[in-house]
């Protein structure tokens, strides 16, 4: 499958630190290769990289990325998640699936240029909610739920359990 990338626009380090961290962790958990964040944020990078170091996988985070240039230079298909977009069920079949995908999510109001630049503007329901929820539903549909329990070969692996917590730690 081609690589899935996320572009987070409008990140305000103080105000959005938790939500953008959750956008990044959700992207990783559901199989994206990495996230580009428009505002430079070293703390955000450290927090996300610390999860990657412990739980494995190849996830990349880059902050301070010029979003207009990224949209222009991206070699693949661009999908913008917005409550104003076309229906998810109607839009999904239009995704080519054979090219890398850049999924754009906003923090606040997204500039009109993004709507123009995107190949598809897709809504996950027509009610306002959260970029984390929109991304999770979208990625899960896109990947048919295949990444929920995929092995990341991490230092730590959580084993699903009916009760209690089972964590296997690798000793190197």
- Binding residues vs ligand SAM (CB under 6 A): 81-84, 105-106, 110, 123-125, 127-131, 134
| Least distance in angstroms from the C-beta of 129 to ligand SAM | 5
Closer CB to ligand SAM, 32 or 105, in the complex: 105
Closer CB to ligand SAM, 18 or 54, in the complex: 18
CA distances from 57 to 9, 53, 144 (A): 24, 8, 19
CA distances from 20 to 25, 48, 110, 117, 168 (A): 9, 10, 15, 22, 28
| DSSP, res 156 | E
| Least distance in angstroms from the C-beta of 162 to ligand SAM | 33
> Which residue is at the shortest CB distance from ligand SAM?
106
| Least distance in angstroms from the C-beta of 65 to ligand SAM | 17
Closer CB to ligand SAM, 34 or 85, in the complex: 85
Closer CB to ligand SAM, 52 or 77, in the complex: 77
Q: Which of 129, 114, 119 is nearest to 99 (CA)?
A: 119
Taking the CA atoms of residue 72, residue 38, residue 119 and residue 110 in that order, the dihedral angle to the nearest 10 degrees is -120
| Least distance in angstroms from the C-beta of 58 to ligand SAM | 25
Ramachandran region of residue 136, left (φ > 0), alpha (ψ -120 to 50) or beta? alpha
């Amino acid at each position: 499958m081609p690589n899935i990338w996320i572009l987070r626009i409008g990140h305000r380090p103080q105000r959005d630190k938790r939500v953008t961290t959750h956008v990044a962790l959700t992207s990783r958990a559901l199989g994206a290769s990495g996230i580009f964040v428009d505002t430079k944020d070293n703390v955000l990078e450290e927090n996300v990289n610390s999860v990657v170091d412990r739980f494995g996988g190849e996830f990349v985070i880059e902050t301070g990325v010029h979003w207009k240039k990224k949209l222009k230079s991206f070699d693949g298909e661009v999908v913008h998640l917005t409550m104003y977009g076309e229906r998810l069920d109607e839009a999904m079949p239009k995704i080519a699936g054979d090219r890398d995908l850049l999924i754009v999510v906003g923090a606040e109001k997204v500039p009109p240029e993004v709507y123009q630049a995107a190949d598809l503007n897709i809504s996950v329901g027509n009610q306002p909610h959260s970029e984390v929820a929109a991304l999770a539903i979208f990625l899960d549909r896109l990947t048919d739920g295949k990444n929920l329990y995929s092995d990341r070969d991490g230092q730590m692996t959580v084993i699903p359990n009916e009760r209690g917590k089972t964590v296997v730690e690798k000793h190197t």
